Amino acid sequence: MSSAPEEPAQDIDPKIIAYIDQACQATITTLVDKVKELINQQNENQKRWNEQIQKTIGDQFNKLEQVGLIDNGTNSRESLTNEEQNNQATPATINSPPETRDDQGNYPPIAVMSDMVIDPIPPKNTKNELSITRNKARKYPPISYTTLKKLPVVQGFTNPLAANIESKRLWWVANWTEGNKVIEMLPGKPNLTTRLWKSIAFGAYIELQEFAYKNMKAIAKFHHEELPLQTSEGGDLTIWKRPTYNRFIDISEWILAFRSYTEAVLIIYKDREQELNFYCDHINNLGIRYDFTAVMAYDKDRRLALAMDRDTTLEKTSMHQLSKEQNLIDHVRTGVMQHGTTEEKYASIGIGEIIARIRNADEFTHASYARTLVTRSEGASLTAQGLARKEGKASTRKGKTKKKN
């Protein structure tokens, strides 16, 4: 069988080709025009939004200048305006995710409050390669010092971080009235009394028990029960009930209280974030290795030393400080562990020796605990004497019985 001859391919009519090309070109042109229109509309909306934000910032500056919280200069306003323009988000394009397009109506959240009062959360510190502490997310935004009056200059400090903190502390000491107004204007902050805010701003020693959960609830409940009294010289006196707090039971209670304390401190001193996070992890590690009472005594001494010496921080910086800390913890732990909890140990030790040991470790024991030890020792001695008398009487009776027989 012979196959049929193949027919030659027929050429497409040039008119049909021209019609198809024209239709494709018109479709592409229409799509490009739609995309350009969408981008232009997005740019216009973003421009109006930025103008509204800048207007809000200007209004806030005008209000603050009237109150007198900041200087009348315009350098800070111009710097914030330039920073706001540099931080503007780029307009969404056709390749952007659906949630950022204009047709979805989802704009990135931008705070209405100006940067006069609050700063955005700073990036993590990537320059310090020796740091092993991870910066935790802040619950409250910090105060910005760029728009406030000029900070005083601190000289003679060897620690740069301590010098920066001291400069801000001196500003609070000199401008507490204005600073207290700034704190009251913060949109987000812990509900603390004015006394606590002032202690934090002045860098004074604070009992961490005040930041425990139960005590924070009490502060929120009785926050306005402080009674201010005006004096004839223009000052004021505040009367409040002196609180009494229980000791921390374990390291978990201390960590929760210290985190609440850290959140309040970082509002005023945002540069202490790395330091406080490191110290919290450090005390947690000490609580695992050493006696809890010894660690709490060390924590109080460390924070009290910080309030007495401004040129230091809670972050360890030298091997000498590490060795000194190790010796202190070991000494405290030895003083506590000498008084174990077994009755057999106290029964075998004289009362005078127990009292002498308690006096040597009186910084880490309670008077009630000492009285308990003495009572137990006396009871054990009386019990031993009673047993000896009974044994003596029993042996005497046995001897008399043998003689009679």
Which tens digits make up the pLDDT trace of 365-396? 344 444 444 444 444 444 455 555 655 655 55
Q: Per-residue pLDDT for 223 more than 80? A: no
Let me know: does 32 contact 78? Beta carbons within 8 Å: no
Q: What does the alpha-carbon distance between residue 117 and residue 136 come to, in Å, rounded to a whole number?
A: 22
| Tokens at 280, concatenated | 């919290």
Average pLDDT over residues 72-100: 47
Average pLDDT of the chain is 69
pLDDT in tens, 44-69: 888 888 888 888 888 887 777 766 55
Q: Per-residue pLDDT for 226 more than 60? A: no
Could you tell me how many residues make up the chain?
405
Domain-by-domain residue ranges, the chain?
Answer: 17-89, 160-311, 343-404
Q: What does the alpha-carbon distance between residue 226 and residue 392 come to, in Å, rounded to a whole number?
A: 70
Name, of 46-50, 141-145, 261-265, 326-330, the range with top average pLDDT.
Answer: 261-265
Name the burial class of residue 157, with classes exposed (0-12), middle (13-18) and buried (19+) by CB atoms within 10 angstroms of its CB.
middle
Q: Per-residue pLDDT for 102 more than 80? A: no
Instruction: Quickly state the pLDDT bin for 168 (edges 50, 70, 90).
Output: very high
Let me know: does 302 contact 275? Beta carbons within 8 Å: no
Average pLDDT over residues 84-113: 43
pLDDT for the residue numbered 287: 87
Which 8-state DSSP code applies to residue 272? G
Let me know: does 121 contact 138? Beta carbons within 8 Å: yes
**242 vs 10, higher pLDDT:** 10
